[in-house]
Structure 1
Amino acid sequence: MARPELYDFNRSTFLYAERISLEKLPDDSLVRQAHTFWRGLVEAPALPARSDFTPADIPRPVLPWLFLMEVLREPDGKLDYRYRLAGTSNVSVVSRDPTGRLASEIFKNGDRAFMLKSFDATVLEAEPTFWNAAVPHDRIEKIELWRGLFPLAEDRKTVDTLLGIAVPQSTWR
């Protein structure tokens, strides 16, 4: 497993990043599978809770691409996010493991504002959000990603955890 202190989390800026609808994702994408899993945990409009599932419940192809983030609410209303889990495939692709670190610490360059705003949108809307992005990569020219963020709430309303998935688009081509 990658050691985060060995890698420069400040090295890249998105080549592009845009919010998209669920319909723009390929039918067979792992992000769609993650969405189906998330929505199947509880009946809408209630939000699923982290306690509604175990790793064994997650579809096997999706599991290595997932990440879990705790939502941290500051007294001034600002939000931050602590990575609680990063799937092995996610860690392998980016050559770093963010587990235990704050999103505000990891993303320092132009990526920071976008990443925090995308997490904030998911929390504040209490709805899944979907993204299409490309980032430069150390070993290859770039990685194009599909990303989904899914809100979790122990009280079924107030988002306290984000379940996320970020998968290279080439994973299912």
Structure 2
Amino acid sequence: MNLVRGALMAHPGQFAIKRSAFLFLKRITLDDVPEDSLTRVAYEFWRGLAPEPALPARTDFRPEMVPRDVLPWVFLMDVIRAPNGALDYRYRLNGTRNVALVGRDPSQRLASEVFDNGDRRFMLESFNKTVDEKTATFWVGDIPHDRINQINIWRGLFPLANDRENVDQLLGIAVPRSNDMDA
């Protein structure tokens, strides 16, 4: 096991991602995601849950069906709709590697509470795009990190809809791109 990976697993709080600013995070297409990325594996799993054009429902998603190398990196969020139409997201499930990567477990917390002001707007907007567009979205980024300068990630967000049309949950994955922290 790589030293950095072992340190993250042993002391996740010691390597918390700084929440003050993202160095770089941009939207990409599925074609930009490498064939061997766990983000692509997660997408193929999600797309296999229901035939297109229908969206998969939460009842289609069972954690035991998620590929073993993907499960530790996934997160599941409920879409919270305010009466004024504003959206927020409650973290329901967080994979162990995802928790170790960010240094904390946001389970049962709202995304608006988890992210600092600088990150909150962007993160909520990226979640909102996935909900509004009712399709998977993909992101690549360089995120600041306290001890190792930055973490280069691939991220995928995948909508779930109990009625197969209106998104009520997001399944997501965020995995490092560097060899230092690959799954």
The TM-score with structure 2 as length reference comes to 0.88
Residue identity opposite 1:94 in structure 2: V
Total equivalences in the alignment = 172
Residue identity opposite 1:131 in structure 2: W
State the partner residue of 2:82: 74
Asked if 1:112 corresponds to 2:120, the answer is yes
Which structure 2 residues correspond to residues 29-68 of structure 1 after superposition, within 5 A?
29-68=37-76
Which structure 2 residues correspond to residues 1-173 of structure 1 after superposition, within 5 A?
11-170=19-178, 171-172=181-182
Q: State whether residues 9 and 108 of structure 1, in contact with CA within 8 Å, keep that contact through their aligned partners in structure 2.
A: no
Runs of 4+ aligned structure 1 residues displaced above 4 Å come to 1-4, 6-10
Residue 53 (structure 1) shift = 2.4
Q: What root-mean-square deviation, in Å, do the aligned CA atoms of Structure 1 and Structure 2 show? A: 2.2
Residue 51 (structure 1) shift = 0.6
Residue 109 (structure 1) shift = 2.6
Q: State whether residues 17 and 102 of structure 2, in contact with CA within 8 Å, keep that contact through their aligned partners in structure 1.
A: no
Structure 1 gaps, min length 5: none
Residue 172 (structure 1) shift = 4.9
Paired with 2:25 and 2:167, the residues of 1 have a C-alpha distance of 24
Paired with 1:129 and 1:3, the residues of 2 have a C-alpha distance of 27
Percent identity of equivalent pairs: 60
Q: State whether residues 20 and 131 of structure 1, in contact with CA within 8 Å, keep that contact through their aligned partners in structure 2.
A: yes
Secondary structure of 2:146's match?
coil
Q: State whether residues 17 and 143 of structure 2, in contact with CA within 8 Å, keep that contact through their aligned partners in structure 1.
A: no
Structure 2 gaps, min length 5: 1-8
Paired with 1:169 and 1:94, the residues of 2 have a C-alpha distance of 15
Paired with 1:166 and 1:50, the residues of 2 have a C-alpha distance of 20
The TM-score with structure 1 as length reference comes to 0.93
Residue 42 (structure 1) shift = 0.6
